[in-house]
Amino acid sequence: MFSRWNWVACGFYLVLNICSPDASGGLVQSCGHIIPESPVLALGSNFTALCILNESCLDFGNIYASQIIWKIKNRLVPKEQYREINRTVSSVTFNDTSSLATPLTCNILADGQIEQNIYGITVTVGLAPEKPKNLSCIVHQVSRFTYVMTCTWNPGRHTFLDTQFRLKYRWPEAVFPDCIPKDVNNSCTVNDIQFFVNTEIWVEATNALGKAESDRLVVDPIDIVKPLSPQNVSITSGLLPTVLQLSWENWISDAVMTLKFNIRYRIAGDTNWMEVPPEDTASPRTSFSIQGLRPYTEYVFSIRCMKEDGAGYWSDWSEDKTGVTIEDQPSKGPPIWRIIDTSQSPACWTVHLIWKALKPYEANGVILQYELTVRDKSSLSSPVKKYNVTGTNHTLQLREGTYEVTLIARNSVGPSPPSVLLIPASNSKAPVKNLRTLPKHDKLWVGWTAPNNYVLKYVIEWCLVSSSSDCTIEWQIAQGDVQGIDLKGIKPFKCYLITVYPLYADGQGSGQSVKAYLKQDRPSKGPTVQTKKVGKAEAVLTWNHLTVEEQNGFIRNYTILYKTIDGNETVVTVDPSKTEYTLSSLTSDTLYTVRMMASTDNGSRTGPDFTFTTQKFGKGEIEAIVVPVCLAFLLIVLLGVLFCFNKRDLIKKHIWPIVPDPSKSNIAQWSPQVPAKHNISSKDQMYPEGSFTDVSVVEIEADDKKSFSDQDLKPFDLLKKEKSTSEGHSSGIGGSSCMSSPRQSVSDSDEGETTQNTSSTVQYSTVVLNGYRDQTPVQVFSRSESTQPLLDSEERSEDHAGGADSTAQRQQYFRQNGGQDETNTDRPCFERTKQITHASEGDLVGFVQLQISGQSSQPLGLGMEKNTQEAAVSNVLQTCTEGQTVRPETVEENPLSVDEMPKSYLPQTVRQGGYMPQ
Amino acid sequence: MHQLSKGLSSPGGCCARSLVAVTAARTMAAAGSPSAALRRRDLCSRGIRLAGKMRADVVDLLDAYVEQQGLDASASVAAVEGVPLAAVERWDEQTGTQRLLENLAAYRAFRALLAQMLEEQREQLGEADAGLGRALAAVLLQVSAFAYHLEELLRLESRGIPGEEGDEEEDGPPPPPRLSHFERKLRGLGVLRELAQWAVRSVRDLRQLAKPSPATGAAPGLAESP
């Protein structure tokens, strides 16, 4: 309990000792202190500190050195580094000060637990200064009488401490104040410097850890002067056009030092300086005449100086000053060339004389005018023509011939030497050989091999080749002893056409041309390829050449790349001159993708893809298939026809059963003309296309002739009436459908009248026309064109023959049911009409007319189909026609049969205007 | 400049004294050697150029001084007390040592007078005309440097260097007579004029010394000229 109270009292005492101010106003004395106080230590050295406790604290607080602990910036120092020297002193040792930090504190553990700070120090660690090195000094002239000396040195390593550098200098008998650098540690400037006395200069570096001095520099400041450059430089033109005089002031007196100079100069606008030989300006002076300059040229001058014996430094160059030399007469004539335009006529030239303005160093002044003289050498009597021109071209109209053109440039001083250009009538001399080009950086070298003859000059023309504009010619003249020049201003990636002409003393050689690029690039675009023709296994590709602007170089080749969708790409290289190529060995009916690449020496560019599909069949393949097939088909058809022809009877019987000839029927025998009809064998000609699809046959036995009653004959009468009625409408009757029937009928009737007069045995048919609307119908007698009623029109002549045979045995009567359309009816009718006409003209005697009673013109109410009527009427007509055609025979052969057979006539009706057969 | 003036006015200071002693020992050890001849020629050459520059600076300083002090450039000034006259009779009959001694005496006197003028200048104008003060200080430095050259040459001649008046008289130099402000201006003008004269004479003296001496058989004279 006592001990605890004791510790509390001790702590309170410590606090009081540390914190309470003493009577003088400061802090009371602490319980201890550290030795050394705020040391500066060399980096890497060892260090020992002592903490000394006060006796008073020992007595009151029971604290001893053994309780001391050391700390570096709140970090406990290992106890191995402690050493208790006695009961009041504890030491700590650091073998390497680099492990130290600030603050280093001495603390005590009161009662073994409570840590109390006794004292602390600040530890500074650094390095001693190194010896300054590389001391050098220079004396700058800052005004006419003022010089300052600036010395620089290498201060060495960083010391981590406040290090002071001093520049010291002295004479043997005098010490000058030190020069202390401001803000820097490696240079200092001395303002008061005196010449002609050797001065000892050195640098002293000092910090808390030591002092170091540089090597001593002993120098007379006059030997390290950098003077001011010469001032007030002026330039005056001399009397000579090649001389300028340079004057200046030296700002350093000869008493201080004598100077030597450097003078440099350049042409204004040029960057290259020329220098006056140093030995010419190695002595003191204030002016110098520069010779060998170009007339009428602006020069820029600059000058500098230094001590004559070479000790010290060159001054800066003075400000540039310019001066212009005076004019001189031009040193050479202008280069001249010509362009001859013979487009108007070969005999009349338009000569464009062009020349280049002299370069400034050639013109030597301002060219006031050019004097042009043209002499016609082919005609000595022609006067010399002179022109004064201010420009650099002149156009003349000259006749074809040889001319000598002389050009002189004149300035204010005088004329230039003349330039002579011979324009021969033709460029018949030898050309240059082996013209070639070679790029050289930004220039294009053009070289050639000289002709065998002596060449005065060469003219090199070049122009930028363009697809959109004309070639603008530039030109240059080279002397005759050179075999190559550099062309300047050539643009890369552009095609130039270069032509070289050799000029001889007595003429001119023809030009040799070459195309060239300064620099090539890959084409700016690729060719666009397309197909011209696509076959089964080949495709013809076409493309256009790239324009010269797109080429960017010489096209060395085209490359065609094509592939199927899933196939490998095939590459074909094509000559650059071609614009077409045929791809072969392609797969039929396949989609191909093709693209084209143009290549120069510097790369390639591919054009757009193009796709095409090869054809499924090759050329002629379809024909090779179709033609044989067709031929085979035709052959089969032909064979079929032949077969059918051979078997026609069988087929006919199968398809068209034999129809009995109604004319051989008993009813037919009722008509007196029937027998004659059956003699006609060309019945099929009248009805070549007639066919019936439905035939009803009524067979009447010849023996039953008597059994026909009037009832049986009525339908036939009605049929006649129908014919007369319908014929007026001209629709269903074959004759009227031919349009010519009524009129024909009339004429026939007229002629027939005569015929009737000669023969009363001829049977007539009468066609009665109804009037049109309210008009009174005119009854006309006409040859009946009707095939009615006996309906055998579709039978062939053979059939008739056969039918005739059967008719002899039996008489048939049949009725048709409209299976024949009008068309089939009409066309034969037309043919018939012609035949009839022919027959009427040939033999009117045998014309047979059938008279139909006028009562039959009433409308028929039998409901018979029109076709039936037509067929019936047609048959009648056929009958008539047949009768007409075979009339001579009939007339001769059938008188007896007519007599023998009972006369039977159809009822006849005479109408107004009608005709009554006699 | 204060420190410099102090050093210059008391060349018997420890540092300066030790340097001089070292140099003298070195010089004595090398006397008569080829290096001594080169040293003598180098000293003469530098001395000639220094005297030339000093004359040029003094002439410029004279103009500035006359203008700044409001004096007439053509005003006649009595001879300055304590300064040997530059113009002497039978100059060409003098020996080299005699020339060096007369020069040394004169420049030591000029050094003291110029230091006094500089002090008076500062008292009078303060920093108002720093240019004139800097020019005066520069000339003072040159005078001091030239005196050093003369001392070195005398050492090469193996002659003792006479002590300065300040060293000989323990009581120090007599206090300058109390002069009026205008008299001080005139005295300054007289000092600068006489210094200009002495600069010319010193050049001639050193050239004479630089000439090859048949007695000593020294190297040929220097070709340099101020």
pLDDT in tens, A339-354: 888 877 778 889 999 9
User: Are B148 and A172 an interchain contact pair (Cβ–Cβ within 8 Å)?
Assistant: yes
Most confident region among A166-170, A439-443, B89-93 by mean pLDDT: A166-170
> Who contacts A280 (Cβ-Cβ below 8 Å, separation ≥6)?
A288
Q: What's the pLDDT score for residue B127?
A: 63
CB contact under 8 A, A194 and B4: no
Residue type, A376: D
Residues A826/A787, Cβ–Cβ less than 8 Å: no
Number of Cα atoms under 13 Å in the Cβ half of residue A787: 30
Of the candidates A145, A171, A254, which has its C-beta nearest B145's C-beta?
A171
Among A173, A685, A801, which Cα is nearest to B146's? A173
Residue A276 scores a pLDDT above 90: yes
pLDDT for A527 beyond 80: yes
pLDDT interval class at A907 (50, 70, 90): very low
Q: Which residues contact A557 (CB under 8 A, 6 or more apart)?
A: A573, A574, A575, A576, A599
| Chain A residues touching residue B49 (CB < 8 angstroms) | 195-196, 222, 255, 257
Q: Do A173 and B20 touch (CB under 8 A)?
A: yes
Question: How far apart are the C-alpha atoms of B49 and A800, rounded to whole Å?
Answer: 169
Using a 10 angstrom Cβ sphere, with 0-12 exposed, 13-18 middle and 19 or more buried, the burial of residue A682 is: middle
Instruction: Inspect the interface and report whether the beta carbons of B49 and A176 lie closer than 8 Å.
Output: no
Among chain A residues, the shortest Cα distance to B47 is held by: A196
Average pLDDT over residues B48-71: 87
Distance CA A344, CA A400 (A): 12
Tokens coding A842: 């040939």
Q: Which residues of B touch A (CB under 8 A)?
A: 1, 3-4, 7-8, 11, 13, 15-16, 19-20, 23, 46-47, 49-50, 52-53, 55-57, 60, 134-135, 137-138, 141-142, 144-145, 147-149, 151, 226
Of A105-119, A204-218, A770-784, the poorest mean pLDDT is in A770-784
Per-residue pLDDT tens over the stretch A117-169: 888 888 888 999 999 999 999 999 998 878 899 999 999 989 888 899 999 99
Contacts of A173 in chain B (CB under 8 A): 8, 11, 16, 19-20, 144, 147-148, 151
Residue A150: name the closest of A162, A163, A141, A159 by CA.
A141
**pLDDT tens track for A348-384:** 889 999 999 998 889 999 999 999 999 988 777 788 8
Measured between beta carbons, which residues in chain B are less than 8 angstroms from residue A172?
16, 19-20, 23, 148
Return the pLDDT at A802: 42
To probe the interface with B, which of A175, A192, A196 has the most B CB atoms within 10 Å? A196
- Helix A741-758 with A822-842: angle, nearest 10 deg: 40
Q: State the smallest CA–CA distance between residue B20 and chain A in angstroms.
A: 7
E strand or H helix that includes residue A713: helix A710-729
* Residue A650: predicted pLDDT: 82
Give me the pLDDT at residue A316, please: 95
Q: Which residues of B touch A253 (CB under 8 A)?
A: 53, 56
Chain B residue nearest residue A176, CA to CA: B4
Identify the pLDDT of residue B214: 53
Least confident of A550-554, A677-681, A883-887: A883-887
Does residue A518 register a pLDDT over 60? yes
Please give the Cα distance from B114 to B189 (Å, whole number): 11
A301 compared with A856, residue with greater pLDDT: A301
What is the rounded CA–CA span in Å between residue A448 and residue A516? 14
Per the listing, tokens 């077409």 go with A580
Which chain A residue's Cα is nearest to B151? Answer: A173
- In this prediction, residue B166 has a pLDDT band, given cuts at 50, 70 and 90, of low
Q: CA torsion angle for A388, A392, A397, A400 (degrees, to 10)?
A: 110
Cβ <8 Å between B4 and A174:
yes
Q: Is the pLDDT of residue A593 over 60?
A: yes
| Interface contact B142-A256, CB threshold 8 A | no
pLDDT the model gives residue B68: 81
Over residues A613-638, the pLDDT tens digits come to 998 887 788 888 889 999 999 999 99
Please report the pLDDT score of residue B196 as a whole number: 92
**Helical segments of A730-821, H only:** 734-737, 741-758, 797-809
**Whose structure tokens read 């490359």?**
A559
Highest mean pLDDT among A11-25, A205-219, A368-382: A205-219
Alpha carbon B144 to chain centroid, angstroms: 6
> Number of residue pairs across A and B with CB atoms under 8 Å?
83
* Inter-CA distances, B53 with A39, B58, B196, Å: 54, 8, 10
Q: Which region among A172-186, A570-584, A900-914, B38-52 has the lowest average model confidence (pLDDT)?
A: A900-914
Q: Provide the token pair at B185.
A: 């201006």
Q: Hey, are the CB atoms on B55 and A255 less than 8 Å from each other?
A: yes
pTM for this model (two decimals)? 0.54
Mean pLDDT of chain B: 73
Query: Does residue A899 or residue A120 have the better pLDDT?
Result: A120
pLDDT at A671: 55
Distances (CA, A) of A254 to A288, B63, B202, B225: 18, 19, 17, 10
SS3 B92: helix
Distance, in Å, from the CA atom of A80 to the CA atom of A220, rounded to the nearest integer, reads 61
Q: Is A856 exposed, middle or buried (0-12, 13-18, 19+ CB in 10 A)?
A: buried
Nearest CB among A197, A220, A255 relative to B52 is that of A255
Mean pLDDT (whole number) for B115-142: 81
CB-CB under 8 Å, A194 with B149: no
Is the pLDDT confidence value at B58 over 80? yes
Strand partners, A149: A139, A190
Provide the token pair at A242.
Answer: 């090649």
For residue A561, the number of C-alpha atoms closer than 13 Å in the C-beta half-sphere is 16
Q: What is chain A's mean pLDDT, rounded?
A: 75
Q: Is the dihedral of CA B4, B9, B15, B17 positive or negative?
A: positive
Q: Which residues of A touch B16 (CB under 8 A)?
A: 172-175
Q: Which residues of B141-161 are buried (b: 16+ CB within 10 A; e: fewer)?
A: bbbbbbbbbbbbbbbbbeeee
Q: Which of A213-227, A279-293, A338-352 has the lowest mean pLDDT?
A: A338-352
Mean pLDDT, residues B120-132: 74
The answer to whether residues A411 and A362 touch, using CB atoms and an 8 Å cutoff, is: no
- What is the per-residue DSSP string for A19-77? HSB-TTSSBPP-SEEEESSS-EEETT--EEEEEEE-HHHHHHH---GGGEEEEETTEEP
| C-alpha to C-alpha distance for A666 and A530, rounded to whole angstroms | 87
Residue B97, pLDDT score = 86
Instruction: Report the C-alpha gap between B87 and B104 in whole angstroms.
Output: 15
Query: Is residue A584 scored above 70 in pLDDT?
Result: yes
Average pLDDT over residues A238-248: 90
pLDDT over 90, % of chain A: 32
CA distance A209 to chain B (A): 26
By Cβ distance, the residue of A145, A174, A196 closest to B50 is A196
Q: Is A804 left (phi over 0), alpha (psi -120 to 50) or beta?
A: alpha
